[in-house]
Structure 1
């Protein structure tokens, strides 16, 4: 297990726990009382840290190397019944954007989402979860397929942003994202969007227009990353913590500002501490949200979706 800098107290306690268990096996000494006390202290420390997380610490948790990624969620929730679909029928198959059919509790869904890599080789293969225009066009193709067969769309968002390379701009990155936003606003099937990690800029918004937009507890959603914001305002990344606070990018801030519809609670310490639990939680949430949406008249569903996003940013003093 990798530990973040603010998790040092937990790391020290867990190292003591490992030593106590090892000593018990080596010497046949009854260490049950000490082990139980250490386990209790670990839980208490995790709770204390979780209560006082700063926005920047939540950003760090959203990027934790052991945090589950999109395909892990899909495979777990569909119990291996996922059929991945490939290609935008124009350029190529973007490995940073994945999608396909899957089934949850007897209901078929079209899943789409950005996929990061679990090691250096896979990160390069997946382009670090940063889609090119063909990735967004693939996502749109799959959403249109879901509309054709009258099946709901589930978007799992986890990206540091759309790929900013010259070749991406040449192939119409901005147009591809704008087209997705336009088409998702009027898609004639329910759309459930869940931020499971990073939700950065247009890279996230390109598959982020939904009837229900939810965030996991330790995720972030913003027009810009804290590091990039810091580099623009202060000409240095050293102020990323201040930037994270100023951007109001946490799930709690987003819900308070009525930019999302709900927060999905994570296991104590983050999704990476109990992946199976978070898979089940997200699975139940998808089923619950779809049960509410599937009975809504299609025209009314679209009207409410458009109205919800049109109201964002509107305020009076």
Structure 2
């Protein structure tokens, strides 16, 4: 079975792995994203690719990338949290240095593709995948087809305004992402912005600290508002939630409880579930995209 080198590039970490065509992950790891230095960013990708090709025969490199990505050319008008890729074409940049074929797709679309082909949306023709991480993204399937939008910007749910006029928290990126949760936690605890804090820290402390519990509760409410708006707009069969934060097993149930508290949810209610692949969805979806494009 053919092997593929897959990258899921995020604002905080670059996840990478060696995958088989059936979605099996032979090995995986991650490193810190150097999102502001293009040369350093490229060198680390090349080093990782060389590491995998040293002892493996691979069929290509598949990449899940944040931002406004043209999946046909690889050009990113905006690289999301990876500023170095604004107005760059990572596909062309890599092909100058390696001989392997390269394909790139938006990270939210990759997650949705993974769930559609072999995940929790296999039997759905219409569904939405929402990814919660450094920002809020996702993918939309309508009538069995992935929706890219006129300028490849569909699924950018993080730009929805849910708190108009509330300082820097107007949009979902700023009030419902994992980054937003950590930022609020640091402010509450008077922790330096430069200190590294994981989302799971907030969840753990919420069990015995009422102030942190209130902070987390407000954050989950913000997540539920975004989900509500998507359900009201597109009426999908289901909405799947992905990202590392979904490892918190109680989160999906709490989100559903929040939705049930919204007066009009009963009129538009749909199933809200977790993604099957969670943190691996980007890599798996990137590989599926590669296979669809190359036919191999």
Q: Give the TM-score of the pair, scaled to structure 1.
A: 0.29
Question: Which protein shows a greater Rg?
Answer: 1
Q: Relative contact order, CA 8 A, sep 6+: which one is greater?
A: 2
Which structure carries more strand by proportion? 2
- Structure with bigger helix share is 1
TM-score if structure 2 supplies the norm length? Answer: 0.31
